[in-house]
Amino acid sequence: MLDRAELLGLFPEILLWDTTLILLVLGMMVARTPARPAAPFVRTVAWLGLHCVLLAIVLVGVGIPITINSIHDILLTDSFTHCCDIFLLVGTAGTIMLIVDHGGRDTLRAFETIVLILLSTSGMLVLISASDLLIMFIAMELQTLCFYVLAASKRDSECSTEAGLKYFLLGAFSSGLFLFGCSMVYGSTGVTNFEELGILALTRSWGVPDPSTGIPIIGILCIVVGFLFKITAVPFHMWAPDVYEGSLTLVTAFFSIAPKIAIFANMVRVLNHCFHDHDWQSLLFFASIGSMILGTVAAMAQQKVKRFVVYSSIGHVGYLCIGFAGGTTMEGIQSLLIGLLIYLFMTVNVFGLFCAVRPVRSQYLGDLGVFGKLHPLFAITFSLTMFSYAGIPPLAGFCSKFYLFFGAIRCGADVLAGLGVVTSVISCFYYLRLVKLMYFDLPGEYMIPPRLDRDNSIVLAITVACITLMFLYTSPLFLVTHYMAMGLFAESGVGFSGSVA
Amino acid sequence: MISSALCSPFNLTGLILCPIAGVILAGLIPEDRVRFVYRIGLCTSLFTFLCSLLFWIRFHASTADFQAVEAIRWLPDSDAYIVIGIDGLSLFFVVLTTFLIPTCFLVGWSSIPQRKEYTIVLLVSESILIAVFCMLDLLLFYVFFESVLIPLFLLIGIWGSRERKIKAAYQFFLYTLLGSVFMLLAILIIFSHTGTTDVPILLTIEYGERRQLLLWMSFFASFSGKVPMVPVHIWLPEAHVEAPTAGSVILAGILLKLGTYGLLRFNISMCPVATLYFTPLIYGLTLIAIVYTSLTTLRQIDLKRNIAYSSVAHMNLATLGMFSLNIEGIEGSLYLMLSHGLVSSALFLCVAGLYDRCKTRLLTYYGGLVRTMPILSAFFLFFTLANMSLPGTSSFIGEFLVFVGVFARNHSIAGMGGVGIMIIGAAYSLWLYTRVACGQLKPQTLGRCTDVQRREAFIYLPFIAGVIWMGVYPDVYLECLHASLTTVVQQGAFELPRSEDVGPC
């Protein structure tokens, strides 16, 4: 039986599940009534879903972040998961807010989209607090299954169908690899719980030829590769551009925000908490280098809006992976979390802008012209976000890059810091190109400036305020992430050794 | 100390926030009343100028400590404070910044499109530039040093004059950024080894020799682009030529000073051993730059490009004087920077006056200016003479002190620099002036032009007053600089090798 505290810890998940069911039933009933034959019910469902997510944020927020092991130790709630939950829910709320207004438009007829988003969010909540290989895999599958459906949700578009198929095949493949890794670990240790694996890893040495005495490296590498697939790090990024381009813009927004948070949180938990030796580190090292270089070089040649965003997000995943290069140091994890949060703000902002211009026509970057003249607020918002992506100082993107490079230098990964600095200079070139398109170029044909609806404007205003003003008062961000990293290391009892300079 | 500073009404934070208040006001002006926005910009910048004068008045010239220091906690766990303060090195740059910005508003009073955005961009860049010179924290210095790129990129790109402006904006941005990232790495290294980025603390730390060389090179990579030294000076003529007048004034008047200010504050003060080691490199680069750009100036036919190249020559002379590493040389170099901030900005204003009327900057279309525009020609002559450092103007004092300093270190270098700047400088200045103002009147461009209006004439007056005041009575400025510079020279122990150099040759 669950006791009171465990039940309290699971409250947000329970809320999301219940809302999902209620909305599903409600949607089915209302959408099929003969009285309102063709009324798309999406707007209402999205609105309700948004409030459910906001309520979940409040629930997580007011809960005291005590360490709870619930349901026979397969879920672990502590300060780290607590804050990650909030990040994730904020990201989801931001994405749904972008969707609300699209309910009335022709693009999104099926209210199931919202239901699926809520369902996958609950899966990601479980993923963040997973403390067992099995529950981790199940949560990840719940999330990705929802994503397969979401990617293929626009049935009359060939691109969307193709995206769904590609995503499904490669996602299933990576899940298979991941599961293989899990079973290797289980087979050689007989344990699936993170806590126990961590203890095992402390007592046994790695890479012992006899597989029965230690955790096999192959198993861990398979798990890491599975993770790299999910976060679209470089050698395993092939699916991302096609999938992101094919899906609906709103779905793409959700893809590139929410799962990154959940999977990075889970990666930190698994890699630093239970496999806290450094065999996996070289793999992430190379993934980081590869992602930075490929993200930078490939984004330079893009003409389409969404492909551009994908490659730039691949580059940012590379920067975030620098945080792992520090291994078990506090700075590494802290910089990763800071980078993740700032990435969240910037990406929500960019997709808010793209959703706003979407109905007009926004497939190509060249279409972004005129906004400098016709919609100056839009243009300045977009430019600030681009400067922030490029890491130009007073903006938030600089805070994240600076601290990531600082973490890298602190732990001796000078190569990563140097390469990151160089690639971020090169990346300035194409971020500036967008600013140039916006302001300096005169387009051949004029199009109607976008209508920014109310919810979208709120999201944009909040994120732009965060991006521009963050450097004035960074203390809360640094304190929260510091607290999270502390919470992560408090149980495992390792990690402080590395942080001493 | 900190709390009392925060309570006083006119402190540095207030000075930095002054233009920001103007930005907020200008942002609130509705679209249909946009005419009004320019007055707000002008009034805010004038008020900021008056406030900055207050700092000059209250400045204690007898101490080398940082004054008007304020500290605000920034990062929680790493002792990173927002520390601002001024000393003799930075005081006049702050005043120069606030002096030049109202001019930028006045010069484009009638001809600028998109005024609201223009006002906001100018005021934001003013605030950032003041912050750069006040910042006593290495990391935040970097933050503001870089962040001025954003408003200036937009300024050049949006309000620039021709199609080439995009290339110019790109070059400006990427040259500066590429250099500065090395500085970022150096800052990260310093931060991770000392745990602080507070400049007064960092000035007391002595690094090992190898590390000093590394740090020095990283900082130099950044500042040499801004100065600009010779291999990386290409962005400057492009950016100057394509920028609007206000952009040229800010670029020439303030932005070039960032590089030399950074060299003095960080390279010379923080890495004295490496500074002595690299002095020949600086001498070589600056001499090449002085002679080369002076010769290049001779064959330019674009008015703005002409002045831009002569700016390169003068800034390199300032760097040469700075690395003579004695008090006269460094004082002279700072003085030359201030004077150049006035003179070359005023020359850009003159060119803007011509360009607004004739819509061309090519020298071949000009001639006989005195016949149609006598007043503008008089102003132009005055500033041309000041640019070639006629005795009695501010540049003369600066160059004289620079050469005194460099002569004490090395005769032949001073001689070459002197030949470069004095003779070729006089040649290009006079030739430029005669080609524009004397000779046959060219009626197709200058025939219908009227002389300067009253508003335009008033813009030049403060510049003339400043140039003459600095030229005949330099002591007001020098006494504020003296204490801080003495400390820099004594801390670096630069005076020791001097006794070997000086002597009967």
> Can you list the positions of beta strands (E) in A20-92?
68-70, 75-77
- In this structure, chain B runs to a length of 505
B73, β-bridge pairs: B81
Other beta carbons within 10 angstroms of residue A5's beta carbon come to 14
What dihedral do alpha carbons B179, B183, B184, B189 form, nearest 10°?
Answer: 150
**In terms of Cα–Cα distance, which of A243, A264, A270 is closest to A320?**
A264
Q: Is a pLDDT exceeding 80 seen at residue B231?
A: yes
Q: Which residues of B touch A430 (CB under 8 A)?
A: none
Q: Rounded to an integer, what distance in angstroms lies between the CA atom of residue B196 and that of residue A221?
A: 38
pLDDT digits (tens, 9 = 90+) for B56-103: 888 888 888 888 888 877 766 666 678 888 888 889 999 999 999 988
Tokens linked to A367: 């279409």
From residue B462, how far is each of B85, B343, B385 by CA, in Å? 27, 11, 17
| Per-residue pLDDT tens over the stretch A97-156 | 887 776 556 556 677 888 899 999 999 999 998 888 889 999 999 999 999 988 887 777
CB atoms within 10 A of CB A169: 12
Cis? peptide before B228, omega within 30° of 0: yes
Where exactly are the structural domains of chain A? 279-492
Chain B CB contacts of A393 under 8 Å are 142-147
Q: What is the DSSP letter of B80?
A: E
Contacts of residue A416 in chain B, CB cutoff 8 Å?
none
Taking 3-state DSSP, the helix, strand and coil percentages for chain A, each rounded to the nearest 5, stand at 75, 0, 20
**Cα-based distances in Å from B345 to A288, B226, B251:** 47, 17, 9
Residue pLDDT tens, chain A, 501 long: 567 777 777 888 888 999 999 988 888 887 666 665 555 677 788 888 888 999 988 888 887 666 666 666 778 888 888 888 899 999 999 988 887 776 556 556 677 888 899 999 999 999 998 888 889 999 999 999 999 988 887 777 778 888 889 889 989 999 999 999 999 888 888 888 888 887 777 665 555 545 455 567 788 888 889 999 888 888 888 888 888 888 888 888 888 889 899 999 998 888 877 776 667 788 888 899 999 999 999 988 888 888 888 999 999 999 998 888 766 677 888 888 999 999 999 999 988 888 777 655 556 777 777 677 777 788 888 889 989 998 888 889 898 988 888 888 888 888 888 898 889 888 888 888 888 877 777 666 656 666 777 888 888 899 999 998 888 888 888 888 888 888 777 655 443 333 332
Burial-class residue B126 by CB neighbours within 10 Å (0-12, 13-18, 19+). Answer: buried
Given a contact cutoff of 8 angstroms between Cβ atoms, the answer to whether B269 and B64 are in contact is no
The backbone torsions φ and ψ at residue A482, rounded to the nearest 5 degrees and listed phi first, read -60, -40
Strands A75-77 and A68-70: antiparallel
3-state class (DSSP) for residue B362:
strand
Burial class (CB in 10 A: 0-12, 13-18, 19+), B504: exposed
Task: Assign B493 to helix, strand or coil.
Answer: coil
As a three-state string, the secondary structure of B197-262 is CEHHHHHHCCCCHHHHHHHHHHHHHHHHHHCCCHHHCCHHHHHHHHCCHHHHHHHHHHHHHHHHHH
Residue A156 near residue A94, CB atoms below 8 Å: no
Buried/exposed code over A414-447 (b: 16+ C-beta within 10 A; e: otherwise): eebbbbbbbbbbbbbbbbbbbbbbbbbeeeeeee
Contact between B187 and B139 (Cβ < 8 Å): yes
Least confident piece of the model among A214-218, B217-221, B327-331: A214-218
Identify which of B129, B155, B124, B123 has the alpha carbon closest to the alpha carbon of residue B144.
B129
Cα–Cα distance between B84 and B55 in angstroms, integer? Answer: 13
**Cβ distance of A436 and B143 shorter than 8 Å:** no
Provide, for chain B, the percentages of residues in helix, strand and coil under a 3-state DSSP scheme, each rounded to the nearest 5. 75, 5, 20
For A158, the 3-state DSSP assignment is: helix
Report the pLDDT value the prediction gives residue B346, as an integer from 0 to 100.
Answer: 93
Query: Domain extents for chain B?
Result: 1-136, 137-492
User: First vs last Cα of chain A: how many Å apart?
Assistant: 47
Nearest CB among B75, B147, B154 relative to A474 is that of B75
Distance of CA B125 to the CA centre of its chain: 14
Question: DSSP letters along B114-127, please?
Answer: SHHHHHHHHHHHHH
Are B192 and A406 a contacting pair at CB < 8 A?
A: yes
Contact A129, A118 (CB under 8 A): no
Give yes or no for a contact between B36 and B107, defined as CB atoms under 8 angstroms apart: no
Model pLDDT for residues B452-472, shown as the tens digit of each residue:
888 888 889 999 999 999 999
Angstrom distances, CA of residue B413 to CA of A264, B290, B337: 59, 11, 20
What gap in Å lies between CA B370 and CA B377, rounded to an integer?
A: 6
pLDDT in tens, A361-389: 556 777 777 677 777 788 888 889 989 99
CB A184 within 8 A of CB A191: no
SS3 state of residue A75: strand
Considering only CB atoms, B170 lies closest to which of A405, A425, A432, namely A432
- Chain B residues interacting with chain A (CB cutoff of 8 angstroms): 73-77, 117, 128, 139, 142-147, 149-150, 153-154, 157-158, 165-166, 169-170, 173-174, 177-178, 181, 184-185, 188-189, 191-193, 195
Task: Compute the distance between CA of residue B459 and CA of residue B349 in angstroms, rounded to an integer.
Answer: 9
Q: Which of A424, A429, A440 is the closest to B174 by Cβ?
A: A429
Task: Name the residue of chain B whose CA is nearest to A429's CA.
Answer: B174
Nearest-CB residue to B76 (from A406, A439, A478):
A478
- pLDDT tens-digit profile of B386-437? 998 889 899 999 999 999 988 888 888 888 888 888 888 889 999 999 988 8
DSSP lists the bridge partners of residue B198 as: B137
- Hey, what's the torsion of the CAs at A302, A304, A305, A306, to 10 degrees? -90
A199 contacts: CB under 8 Å, gap ≥ 6: none
Instruction: Check CB contact under 8 Å for B185 and A372.
Output: no
Q: Which two tokens stand for residue A25?
A: 């039933």
Contact B144 A394 (CB under 8 A): yes
The answer for residues whose C-beta is within 8 angstroms of residue B273's C-beta and 6 or more apart is B209, B212
